[in-house]
Amino acid sequence: DAKTTQPTSMDCAEGRAANLPCNHSTISGNEYVYWYRQIHSQGPQYIIHGLKNNETNEMASLIITEDRKSSTLILPHATLRDTAVYYCIVTYSGGYQKVTFGTGTKLQVIP
Amino acid sequence: EPEVTQTPSHQVTQMGQEVILRCVPISNHLYFYWYRQILGQKVEFLVSFYNNEISEKSEIFDDQFSVERPDGSNFTLKIRSTKLEDSAMYFCASSVLGPRASYEQYFGPGTRLTVT
């Protein structure tokens, strides 16, 4: 799996958009970008994934650059419950493909 | 919404004892996983399981560990002789082929194992 680089921590004001960047310059053509998060002491939670195109679901949007070397997870209106560690993971899509968690970005949403 | 469940939420055991951690994956899922997280550290992959056999295991998953799907709903992780360093949060996860040819994993709430 390609290596990813994320900032260690970020703050975001409640109600504002949280933009979490991820660099994955060695991504290969058939690797996907997945985002998970872990709220303190809970199980990791799947957020969104994409291959080439931008994606949106009820939780977030994922913007992938045209060269696919970086991406941004956007939480459009951050709430206090979005305080968590966010993991950007680049991996092939396969049924028994393990998730390799790095250190992620600790997002603190501030009231 | 379907979810992965795990029991017990907290297990305390003495060193050398056997423990079984239980998971009920989402009902139509076909791929099952165990991960662990030592306090303050990263989530680490232990094992993946498909079609009643292990697909992949990490270096952590040595002979002391085993997994089983004893019936159509449960997925278990057994540690034969626990060590102090097995103290961690253990997460079960499951996945299935999604509509966009993806296999996002859904994680349970975890079992906190404390070995004394």
Burial class from Cβ neighbours inside 10 Å (0-12, 13-18, 19+) for residue A20 reads buried
Nearest to A95 among B30, B107, B110 (CB): B30
Distance from CA of B110 to the nearest CA of A (A): 6
Q: What pLDDT, on a 0 to 100 scale, did the predictor assign at position B90?
A: 98
d(CA A108, CA A7): 13
What's the pLDDT band for A1 if we cut at 50, 70, 90?
A: low
Find which of A1, A88, A99, A101 to mutate to test the B interface (most B CBs within 10 Å of its CB).
A99
Residues of A near B (Cβ–Cβ under 8 Å) read: 32, 34, 38, 41-46, 49, 93-103
- Write the pLDDT tens digit of every residue in B8-35: 999 999 999 999 999 999 998 999 999 9
Q: What pLDDT, on a 0 to 100 scale, did the predictor assign at position B8?
A: 97
Instruction: Dig out the tokens for A19 from the structure.
Output: 């933009």
pLDDT top residue among B72 and B49: B49
Dmax (CA) for chain B in angstroms is 45
CB atoms A102 and B35 under 8 Å? no
- Write the pLDDT tens digit of every residue in B58-114: 999 999 999 999 887 899 999 999 999 999 999 999 998 877 777 889 999 999 999
Long-range contacts of A48-54 (CB under 8 A, 24+ apart): A48/A73, A49/B100, A49/B102, A49/B104
Distance from CA of A93 to the nearest CA of B (A): 6
- Write the pLDDT tens digit of every residue in A4-63: 999 999 999 999 999 999 999 999 888 999 999 999 989 999 999 999 989 999 999 999
Residues in chain A within 8 Å Cβ distance of B25: none
Considering only A47-56, A90-99, A102-111, which range has the smallest mean pLDDT? Answer: A90-99
Distance from CA of A18 to the nearest CA of B (A): 22
For A4, A7, B29, the CA distances from A69, given in Å and listed in that order, are 10, 16, 32
Instruction: Inform me whether the pLDDT recorded for A70 exceeds 90.
Output: yes
Q: What pLDDT, on a 0 to 100 scale, did the predictor assign at position B103?
A: 84
Q: What pLDDT, on a 0 to 100 scale, did the predictor assign at position B106?
A: 95
Give the ranges where A1-111 is alpha helix by DSSP (H).
none
Q: What pLDDT, on a 0 to 100 scale, did the predictor assign at position A2?
A: 67
Nearest to B45 among A43, A100, A103 (CB): A100
β-sheet bridge partners, residue B32: B49, B94
Kindly give the pairing relationship between strand B53-57 and strand B106-107.
unpaired
Q: Mean of the per-residue pLDDT values for chain A?
A: 93
Q: What pLDDT, on a 0 to 100 scale, did the predictor assign at position A66?
A: 95
